[in-house]
């Protein structure tokens, strides 16, 4: 990410998510954005948005890193790729969530928009915990 793009991203994030984010390892291969979020139910989550060296040209990966492990309504650990739960993978603990289709990503998108989509996922996940319905069923209702 260029310094100019970083400043643009910071301006947006400070405006809409003040004191909820921090960049970690800027300009290093393992650069990411750490974001804290509290859902409407009051549950606190932490997200890591992993930035590739060519961001914004490539789609960042979003991981839920707290709380761990994420569980399904039935108590099973949420793991692996699942269309029904809108997850892509996990690395043994952290689950990667789906936020953008790769073909819909372009450099004009922003970290702000990724956080909004991750927030929607978190709220749908919370509804899954309450009802047992899949994340996908809730996302279809709001689209």
Strands (E), 11-132: 21-24, 32-38, 44-50, 61-66, 87-90, 95-97
**Mean pLDDT, residues 29-39 taken together:** 93
pLDDT of residue 92: 67
> If you average pLDDT over residues 89-94, what whole number do you get?
75
pLDDT at 84 over 70: yes
Q: What is the dihedral of CA 137, 140, 141, 143, to 10 degrees?
A: 160
Q: Where are the domains of the chain?
A: 3-142
In angstroms, the CA 34 to CA 65 distance is: 9
With beta carbons less than 8 A apart as the criterion, state whether 70 and 77 touch.
Answer: yes
Residue linked to tokens 């990667």: 96
Q: Is the pLDDT of residue 34 over 70?
A: yes
Asked whether the predicted pLDDT for residue 20 surpasses 80, the reply is yes
The label of the residue with tokens 């978190």 reads 122
Query: 40-75: buried (b, 16+ CB within 10 Å) or exposed (e) per residue?
Result: eeeeebbbbbebeeebbeebbbbbbeeeeebebeee
Matching CATH number, 3-142, of 3.30.160, 1.10.10, 3.10.110, 3.90.550: 3.10.110
Least confident interval from 6-15, 91-100, 131-140? 91-100
pLDDT over threshold 70, residue 27: yes
What pLDDT is recorded for position 45?
A: 96
Segment 83-88 shows an average pLDDT of 92
């Amino acid at each position: 990410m260029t310094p100019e793009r970083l400043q643009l991203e910071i301006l947006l994030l400070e405006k809409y998510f003040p004191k909820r984010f921090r960049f970690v390892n800027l300009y290093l291969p393992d650069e990411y954005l750490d974001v804290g979020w509290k859902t409407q139910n009051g549950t606190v989550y932490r997200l890591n948005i992993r930035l590739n060296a060519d961001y914004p040209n490539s789609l960042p990966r979003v991981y839920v890193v707290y709380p761990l492990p994420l569980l399904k309504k039935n108590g099973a650990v949420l793991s692996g790729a699942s269309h029904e739960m809108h997850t892509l993978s996990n690395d043994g603990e952290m689950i990667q969530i789906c936020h953008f289709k790769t073909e819909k990503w372009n450099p004009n998108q922003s970290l702000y928009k990724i956080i909004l989509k991750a927030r929607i996922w978190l709220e749908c996940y919370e509804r899954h915990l309450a009802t047992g319905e899949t994340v996908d069923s809730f996302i279809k209702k709001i689209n």
